[in-house]
Amino acid sequence: MIVKMKKLTLLCTRSSREQTLESLRELGVLHLQHVAPPEGEGLEEARNLFAHLQRVVEILPKHPYAKPSGKAPHETVDIVWTLIHRRQAVSEQLEMLDLQIRHTEPLGDFSPETVRDLQAKGVSVLLYKAPLKAVFPAPEDVKLVELSRDRSSVYFAWIGRGEWTIDAEEVALPSTSLAKMKTKQASLQVALEKIGEDIVGFAGDHDSVAHLADEAEDHIQYLEARNGMGQAEEVTYLRGFFPAEQEKGLRDLAGTQGWAVLVEEPSDDDDVPTLLRNPKWVSPIKAVFDMIGVIPGYKELDVSALFLVFLSIFFAFLIGDAGYGLLFIGLTLFGKMKTKGNVTAKPALNLLLLMSSCCVVFGMLTGNYFGIALESLPAPLAGLSSDYLTGKSSEGWNSDLAANHVMFICFAIGTLHLTLAHGWNLIRKINSWAALTDLGWLCSTWALFSVVLQMVLYMELPAWIVAAQMPLLGLGIFLIIISLVLTKSYFGLVTLALDIINNFVDIISYVRLYAVGAASLAIAQAFNGMAMDIGFSGIGSIGAAFILFAGHGLNIILGAMGVMVHGIRLNTLEFSGHAGVEWAGIHFNPFSKRAGWKERVARESHE
């Protein structure tokens, strides 16, 4: 659920400003809303220092068993920065040298000093590059020596006395020989590797430098809070938002510190931050929200539970393979074992475990195990499949009938998904005329669902359903129009026809669950067929095994991309569009010590 927030305005004397901020930071429940632009008074220097430290944290490898160097964190930072600059300088030298080598290689390995000696004695040696078909007749006193050629050009030397001009691109004489360049290149590469080893030697200091960076970030936040306060003569003031259940603690602290405080309900114009606090079983969805960087607005619906449930269902349809699901479960359990005690990793692992379990169930019902043909499965596994989802009849399995049945379920899931969106909104708006809009869309959605079944699946529906389609759609449109007029949302009348079409398209869009799953099955079967063609006898078994490993690995990667693109999209666009969720929320970011807040968030997610 979205935690209820209250708005705070706090006044204190200018002399107690520092103590006020320290007390608020220690309490750690107030999301500050700056009154003035948080600039000046050391902020630029603090931000530069944080960027400096953050860069070192990024560079230092994190090896849990590496021993600390024994140096102070600041000393480690200075040494690592020196190594970073040295590595950059060596890398730049290597890049320049690589360019010179590529430029010189077509000319061959020779001594530029010898050429300069010849030139000093009156013998001109000029290097040229010309198209392959170009012809340059050399005078009697000139020697033309071809050095090399590639697909488009020929490189040659023009040696003789006197002056001449030819229609070709002159190539500058290198400063040193190719052999010396390659020797220097090897030396620089060794130096670069040594610098890398020196940096790895400070891997044990990663946590201490990271703590230093956290302190620097804390200092930035403190300066922003201080510089962002409003001032009126000897009084300074700040504003912010806090969870409603923290009101007593804030008022008690205000009484102790001598602050004047005003606690209000947030207005419609306030940018209120969002703090999600869900039951333990819903917490895995936090991994998705963090990954895609979204959070519902304070006044929007918290769709976390529905997001989790439907994403797990979508994952099952999009992957659709019990074998893959079992593989994912194994990897998840291994990950849990390797990250035991790391509470920040739990949401993502729990989410993968839930989605993989759903995938196994759906794969069993459809008889899909690594793309093996249903008739080739062992009897116990084939017996676990659903006759409805596999299109089984007395004549065997009918893939076309199975496809229609799966698509029907996809459309039904989509209709249910959109129904929940409008139904939830209807309950929220039940005391306003706006509720009629969602009631109208419910009527429209179910009427269009029956139309989709007829148009896409060619289903023969009962006569009473067919007869009710247009009246139900008409009733929905009528209710929407009445609601838009009563709420004075006249622009909605202009886009109503397009919205009805979009409603129809949104239901159809859920067929992507079937389409992606069917494509995944086809890819798996294609690679299985290629492996079978090679056979599993003799040396060919190695090639067949490689094809199976590479093919199914690629299929899993494509399936994961499908979940990212389609599974998340159906929740964040189709469903959210009907539920009125714009994902315009601001993360609740209380004024507190960074390390303490991170630990608290991780602990709450774990609990």
- At residue 595 the predicted structure's pLDDT band, cuts being 50, 70 and 90, is low
Condensed to tens digits (0 to 9), the pLDDT of residues 148-197 reads: 988 889 998 888 887 777 888 888 888 889 999 999 999 999 999 999 99
Tokens 């659709």 correspond to: 320
Number of domains in the chain: 2
Q: Classify residue 442: in a domain, yes or no.
A: yes
Work out the angle between the directed axes of helices 496-509 and 463-486 (0-180°, nearest 10): 130
Angle in degrees, CA 224, 228, 234, rounded to 5: 125
On whether both 169 and 313 belong to a single domain, the answer is no
For range 302-311, the mean pLDDT: 94
On whether both 284 and 170 belong to a single domain, the answer is no
- Per-residue pLDDT at 599 exceeds 60: no
Domain boundary among the residues 176, 194, 220 is at 176
Cα–Cα dist 277/603, whole Å: 12
Q: Classify residue 535: in a domain, yes or no.
A: yes
Looking at residue 232, what is its pLDDT?
Answer: 87
Domain boundary among the residues 131, 153, 176 is at 176
- At residue 603 the predicted structure's pLDDT band, cuts being 50, 70 and 90, is very low
Question: To the nearest whole number, what is the mean pLDDT of the chain?
Answer: 90
DSSP annotation of 3: P
Which has the higher per-residue pLDDT, 64 or 104?
104
Domain boundary among the residues 140, 156, 176 is at 176
| Selection from 188, 296, 219, 175 nearest residue 52 by Cα | 219
Q: Classify residue 230: in a domain, yes or no.
A: no
Q: Classify residue 387: in a domain, yes or no.
A: yes
Q: Classify residue 602: in a domain, yes or no.
A: no
Condensed to tens digits (0 to 9), the pLDDT of residues 527-583 reads: 999 999 888 777 888 889 999 999 999 999 999 999 998 999 999 989 999 998 989
- Mention every residue, 6+ apart, whose C-beta is less than 8 A from residue 491: none
Burial class (CB in 10 A: 0-12, 13-18, 19+), 527: buried
Tokens of 366: 């459809």
Q: Classify residue 20: in a domain, yes or no.
A: no
Distances, alpha carbon 293 to alpha carbons 190, 213, 339, 353, 566, in Å? 41, 23, 23, 22, 17
| Selection from 335, 338, 284 nearest residue 308 by Cα | 284
Condensed to tens digits (0 to 9), the pLDDT of residues 425-466 reads: 999 899 999 999 999 999 999 999 999 999 999 999 999 999
143 — phi, psi (to 5°)? -110, 125
Identify the weakest region by mean pLDDT among 276-280, 286-290, 395-399. 395-399
Identify the domain containing residue 157 by its residue range: 110-176
- At residue 597 the predicted structure's pLDDT band, cuts being 50, 70 and 90, is very low
Q: What 3-state class would DSSP assign to 182? A: helix
- Per-residue pLDDT at 253 exceeds 70: yes
Q: Classify residue 366: in a domain, yes or no.
A: yes
Looking at residue 601, what is its pLDDT?
Answer: 46
Q: Calculate what percentage of the chain has a pLDDT beyond 90.
A: 63
